[in-house]
Structures are given as structure tokens and as C-alpha cells.
């Protein structure tokens, strides 16, 4: 099969298309013919030698985590996921090979039927970003009515889901954004927008219950500055790996609560998210679609950091 692989970590140019062995389905895995794969910041970090690259088992390595496609083989005849079903899910890469490939074999507990409301292209944009947002906003922050939640990088892949989940559960959502995304984020449920290009957000907002931090201190000390916006005892939830090594002591020194977050490839939670998508309560935005041969360009684009919603790699001729 064709796949986008790396033979060593490095710049986007190390990502190239190669012919590799078809995965062999074992035990309770589902073999899926991949229609599309989502592109995530962690994919690019890992390709570059950061992220979770230390766990890459061998080269050539197939990059990618989330995917959509059609079931080719099920674990057994009576399994709820049957050949021909349109599905989506998230791999545990790099514990195994990734999703930028024509086929994946994935544990069935990491795969579920895709929302009928979505195309296969749109579905590939969901798993990693939506599961991350759900974990941060719902599982950890426990979003609820009357709560004030500040969300950084609100227009990005995780961010645009985080805004919608927080608003769905009744929270007052404050989003940091560039001007071009302001009206769109209001449509998604943000009650207040702070233009980070012209305003220091810590000067514009205070007494926040929760900060959903999707940036950390990799740019302009966004994480540290966020602590100034929290009420006493407030909570900051940080996702980007290694973006703020002193998060916990920095927060505790000010009497605040803090935690990092790591996403799990949980199909049961993804099924709940699917219901919200099918009901129209949650929307998915795909900013741009790339061919497999242009995977390196997709990585260059996501490293620029200005994507609205998600980038997707298409592997099927017709979807």
C-alpha cells in the first residue's frame, strides 16, 4: 500500500510517499481502507523529532493518528462494526504505525461508525481534536452553566471543538482569536472575543473559572499570563506537550489549580460526540484538503499556526 513515511526525523521534507507492507489485522482489530487522515500539531512535532518521537519503534515510520474510512475486515462475524461500514477513529501512534496510509488495522475500541451528517473528509478531522477538547472541557473542567471559560487558540482544531462543547454545556466562553475568526467563533458559541493581535488578554478579562490553554509558553508567555486571568482557586488545563514545563509550580504558587492533559483514543466518547454532530449541535470545519503526495506541505501549513479548524489528507480517489 502507499503511505506517507519518514526514514528519520527532520524538516517537513523528510515526509514522503513510499510503498509499504499492508497491515495485518489481528485479534480484536478492525482493518479499515482509509479515505482520509487528519493532520495534527503532534504529527508535525513527532516528525520533527519532538512530540512523541522517542517512541517511534522503527523506520520507515508512517505518520498520523486519526482517520476515516470503510471497514474491510471485522474481528468476528457478529461484531457491531461490519465490512462496508463507514467509520472513524484514532490510532495509538507511535506505539504502532500511523494513519497517513491506504489501510490501517486499529483496535475496535478505538473505532466507531462515523456521523452520517459528515463526509469521510470531514470525519477525518474529528477524532484527535474533538476527543482532546472533550477531555479538557467536559471531563476535566466539567463545563456547566454560569462557568466562565477562557479558551486560547480557539479557532484551531482543538479550539473550535472546545468552544462548542463549553457553550453546549452552558458555560460563558471567552475566546482569544485573530480578527478574521471573530465572527465565526461567535457563531460557534463564543460569548466574547479578545483580539490577541491588538489586546493583551490579561488586561481584558479577569475572574475566569477555567483556562483551556492550547498554547502554553511557546509564544509570548501565553501560559504564564493566563494565570493572571483566573479567580482564586481557578483551574488551568494545558494540552501541548512540553509547552510549559513549570506549569504546576507556577500555578500552585498563586493558589491556583493546574493540570496537563493527554488524549485517549476512546471510541465510546467519540460515539457521544458523534451524536452531537448528527444533531447539529457541533460543527466540523476543514480548512484545507491535501493529497497524500502533499503531506509535507500539510505539515508546513500546520506549523505556521494559523489554521482555522483542521487540515485533512485525502487518500481516496473519490469520496
Cut 0.85: pTM above it: yes
Residue 319: what pLDDT?
A: 59
DSSP SS3 for 245: coil
Which phi and psi (to 5°) does residue 81 adopt? -95, 115
| Number of domains into which the chain is organized | 2
Residue 161: what pLDDT?
A: 98
Q: Is 7 within 8 Å of 288 (Cβ atoms)?
A: no
How many residues in total does the chain contain? Answer: 319
If asked whether residues 106 and 144 sit together in one domain, one would say: no
Residues near 22 by beta carbon (within 8 Å), at least 6 away in sequence? 1, 103
If asked whether residues 151 and 119 sit together in one domain, one would say: no
Residue 241: what pLDDT?
A: 76
Q: Is 263 within 8 Å of 128 (Cβ atoms)?
A: yes
If asked whether residues 219 and 164 sit together in one domain, one would say: yes
Residues near 156 by beta carbon (within 8 Å), at least 6 away in sequence? 214, 307, 308, 309
Residue 307 lies in a domain: yes
Residue 240: what pLDDT?
A: 86
Residue 294 lies in a domain: yes
If asked whether residues 9 and 121 sit together in one domain, one would say: yes
If asked whether residues 298 and 256 sit together in one domain, one would say: no
269, three cell numbers: 466518547
If asked whether residues 11 and 122 sit together in one domain, one would say: yes
Residue 22: what pLDDT?
A: 96
- Domain of residue 246: give its range: 129-260
If asked whether residues 227 and 109 sit together in one domain, one would say: no
Residue 251 lies in a domain: yes
Pairing of strands 230-238, 29-39: unpaired
Which residues of the chain register pLDDT less than 50? Answer: none
Pairing of strands 103-107, 66-73: unpaired
Residue 219: what pLDDT?
A: 85
Q: What is the pLDDT of residues 294-309, one digit of tens each?
A: 999 999 999 998 899 9
If asked whether residues 119 and 27 sit together in one domain, one would say: yes
Residue 268 lies in a domain: no
Residue 272 lies in a domain: no
If asked whether residues 157 and 176 sit together in one domain, one would say: yes
DSSP state of 190: -
If asked whether residues 165 and 236 sit together in one domain, one would say: yes
Cα gap 317→84, rounded to integer Å: 17
If asked whether residues 122 and 73 sit together in one domain, one would say: yes
Q: What is the pLDDT of residues 134-146, one digit of tens each?
A: 999 999 999 999 9
Residue 242: what pLDDT?
A: 85
Residue 276 lies in a domain: no
If asked whether residues 139 and 255 sit together in one domain, one would say: yes
**For residue 87, what is the domain's CATH number?**
3.90.180.10
Q: Is 154 within 8 Å of 162 (Cβ atoms)?
A: yes
Residue 266 lies in a domain: no
Residue 161 lies in a domain: yes
**For residue 181, what is the domain's CATH number?**
3.40.50.720
Amino acid at each position: 500500500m502507499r503511505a506517507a513515511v519518514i526514514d528519520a526525523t527532520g524538516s517537513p521534507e523528510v515526509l514522503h510517499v513510499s510503498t509499504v507492507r499492508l497491515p495485518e489485522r489481528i485479534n480484536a482489530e478492525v482493518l479499515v481502507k482509509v479515505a482520509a487522515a487528519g493532520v495534527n500539531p503532534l504529527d508535525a512535532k513527532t516528525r520533527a523529532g519532538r512530540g512523541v518521537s522517542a517512541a517511534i519503534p522503527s523506520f520507515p515510520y508512517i505518520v498520523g493518528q486519526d482517520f476515516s474510512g470503510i471497514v474491510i475486515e471485522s474481528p468476528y462475524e457478529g461484531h457491531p462494526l461490519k465490512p462496508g461500514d463507514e467509520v472513524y477513529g484514532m490510532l495509538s501512534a507511535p506505539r504502532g504505525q500511523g494513519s497517513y496510509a491506504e489501510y490501517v488495522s486499529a483496535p475496535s475500541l478505538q473505532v466507531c461508525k462515523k456521523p452520517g451528517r459528515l463526509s469521510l473528509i470531514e470525519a477525518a478531522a474529528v477524532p484527535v481534536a474533538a476527543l482532546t477538547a472533550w477531555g479538557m472541557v467536559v471531563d476535566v473542567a466539567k463545563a456547566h452553566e454560569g462557568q466562565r471559560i477562557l479558551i486560547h487558540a480557539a479557532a484551531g482544531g482543538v479550539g473550535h471543538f472546545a468552544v462548542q462543547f463549553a457553550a453546549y454545556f452552558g458555560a460563558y466562553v471567552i475566546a482569544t482569536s485573530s480578527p478574521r475568526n471573530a465572527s465565526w467563533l461567535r457563531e460557534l458559541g463564543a460569548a466574547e472575543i479578545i483580539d490577541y493581535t491588538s489586546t493583551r488578554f490579561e488586561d481584558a478579562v479577569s475572574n475566569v473559572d477555567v483556562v483551556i490553554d492550547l498554547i502554553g509558553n511557546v509564544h509570548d508567555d501565553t501560559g504564564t499570563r493566563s494565570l493572571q486571568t483566573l479567580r482564586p482557586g481557578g483551574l488551568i488545563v494545558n494540552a501541548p506537550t512540553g509547552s510549559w514545563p513549570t506549569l504546576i509550580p507556577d500555578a500552585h504558587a498563586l493558589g491556583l489549580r493546574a493540570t496537563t492533559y493527554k488524549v485517549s483514543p476512546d471510541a465510546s466518547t467519540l460515539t457521544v460526540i458523534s451524536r452531537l454532530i448528527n444533531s447539529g449541535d457541533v460543527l466540523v470545519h476543514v480548512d484545507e484538503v491535501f493529497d497524500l503526495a502533499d503531506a509535507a506541505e500539510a505539515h508546513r501549513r500546520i506549523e505556521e499556526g494559523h489554521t482555522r479548524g483542521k487540515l485533512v489528507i485525502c487518500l481516496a480517489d473519490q469520496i
